[in-house]
Structures are given as structure tokens and as C-alpha cells.
Amino acid sequence: MKNWVWGVFLFACVPTAADADDYLRDLTDKPFAYVSTSSKWAINPVPVCWEAVDPQFQAEREAVKTAVEATWSAHSKLRFSGWQKCATANSGIRIGIEDSAANAPHTMGLGNKLNGVRNGMVLNFTFEKWGAVCQGAARQACIYNIAVHEFGHAIGFAHEQNRPDTPGECLKLQGPQGPNGDKVLTPWDKDSVMNYCNPVYVNDGKLSAGDIKGVQCLYDGIPCKVDSKGMPQ
């Protein structure tokens, strides 16, 4: 199976929202948030482990765990367990740490496609070779915010700008990246942590209303509904 790799880029653009009526006429064919339903984890909690446990990064590892629990888990029934050093045959999400000029933080696929994949997710804790804007006082915020974005991929969310209903203003500045989802669960969301056209970099690590509705639809079985303006209910 081919592995897909994509990471976080430190830039943003400001799109104009598309007319909701254009892409909400048939919500059963055009889903909410942009997810890969085939990549949904069938197990809960999802195991998480670290490829290496360096004592100097204990606080950073805790920040990642906190970021995930305060966002995706806080707003859904989805849980994560373990967070210890990976054993040889550990299943679940295996996280490596790398600071490389050639590699941004990334995952090797969506959702359960990461199951047991060594370095299936790669995060950066130092930002000395990549992401200079994350150095100094911004480092802790970057660790937290990027973790929220990458765990979005790890639970099955594709990039929001990959959607077929992405406004042209966004596509002119940021094209699709990485694999696509197979269903949209919410209206196109400028504020999503998964949207590179968000004017706020990964939305400062805060899930948008669409992100929350998306994870609840995918993992809690809550029907995705929108109001007359195309906003999640």
C-alpha cells in the first residue's frame, strides 16, 4: 500500500466563503468536515506510543497529550491510551520526533492507515532546522497547535482545502495536499484546524464548530445537520 506523507506549512490565505446553497443542496452526497470514513478507527481508545522517550522532552510529550485530550477527546467519545515508549510490535499511532529541514511535521496516512506504522506520525519539538517562527517564545504553542492538526489526520481528517467545494480564492493560494477524504460532514470551514487557508495558523489549536461537529459525526454517531445558512447545528 502506498503511504502518503504531508505536513504542516507555516502560511495562510484569506478565502471568501462559498455560497452555502451551492454545496449543501444534497448533504448526503456532500458530507461535513472532510474525512476518510474508511480510515475511522474501530477501536476506542486508540493506542498511542512514542518511538523514543527522551527525558529532556517529557514536558513536550505531555503538551501533545494535553492538546489531544483538550480538543478531539474533549468534544467527542474518542479516547487515546498508552502514551508510553513503543514496543517492537505496538499497534495504534506511533509518534517519532524529528527536526529536519526536509520534513515538516506529518503523518503517513489518515486514521487507521497509521495502525502500527513506525513513525506513522512525526512531530517537531525543537524547530531549529524547520519552522523558525516556532522558535523561542512560540515553541510551546507550536507544539500544542501542530499536535492538534496532526491528530486530526490521525483520526481520519483530510485537509479542508482538498474538498471539491473549496472556494476558488483559497485554491489560488493553497492547492490540495495529501490524500482526499471520501465524505464531507460539514460545510466548507475556513476556521478548521485542518484548513491551510485559515487566516489563523491551524486556528491556534482550537477546534472550529465544524471540526467539533465532524468528530462527533464520525465517532459519536451524531447526525450532521446544518441550518438555513449552512452552519452546523
Q: Which residue has the higher pLDDT, 21 or 164?
A: 164
Domain boundary among 118, 143, 168: 143
Grid cell, residue 134, equals: 516556532
pTM of the entire predicted model: 0.81
- Co-location of 134 and 220 in the same domain: no
φ, ψ at 132 (rounded to 5°): -60, -30
Work out the mean pLDDT of the chain and round it to a whole number.
81
Alpha carbons within 13 angstroms on the beta-carbon side of residue 82 total 20
Lowest mean pLDDT among 48-52, 60-64, 199-203: 199-203
- Report which DSSP code applies to 95: E
Contacts of 230 (CB under 8 A, 6+ apart): 20, 21, 23, 24, 187
Angstrom distances, CA of residue 189 to CA of 83, 94, 170: 31, 29, 11
Where a domain ends, among 108, 143, 178?
143
Number of domains in the chain: 2
> What local confidence, expressed as pLDDT, does residue 61 receive?
98
Residue (of 34, 17, 21, 1) closest to 177 by Cα position = 34
Is residue 126 predicted with pLDDT exceeding 70? Answer: yes
180 burial class (0-12, 13-18, 19+ CB within 10 angstroms)? middle
Residue of 101 and 187 predicted with greater confidence: 101
Residue 174: the pLDDT is 66
Helix axis angle for 139-154 and 58-68, nearest 10°, is 50
CB 129 within 8 A of CB 58: no
Which one of 95, 110, 143 terminates a domain? 143
In a domain, 6, yes or no: no
Range of the domain at 56: 42-143
Higher pLDDT, 217 or 114: 114
Task: Please give the pLDDT value at position 7.
Answer: 55
Instruction: Read off the C-alpha cell for 40.
Output: 475511522
Distance (Å, whole) CA 229 – CA 19: 9
Q: What type of residue sits at position 77?
A: K
**Higher-confidence position of 8 and 48:** 48
Nearest Cα neighbor of 217 from 176, 181, 179, 178 is: 181
Give domain status of residue 2, yes or no: no
The per-residue pLDDT for 124 is: 98
pLDDT of 135 strictly over 90: yes
Note the pLDDT of residue 219: 95
Residue 8 has a pLDDT of: 53
Band (pLDDT 50/70/90 cuts) for residue 27 is very low
Q: Are both 139 and 184 inside the same structural domain?
A: no
Number of helices (H) and strands (E) in the chain: give both, helices first. Answer: 5, 8
Query: So what's the pLDDT on residue 10?
Result: 46
**Is 226 part of any domain?**
yes
- What average pLDDT does range 77-88 have in this prediction? 97
Question: What is the mean pLDDT of the segment spanning 30-51?
Answer: 84
Question: Which of 36-45, 91-100, 174-183, 209-218 has the weakest average pLDDT?
Answer: 174-183
Q: Residue 130: which pLDDT band, with cuts at 50, 70 and 90?
A: very high
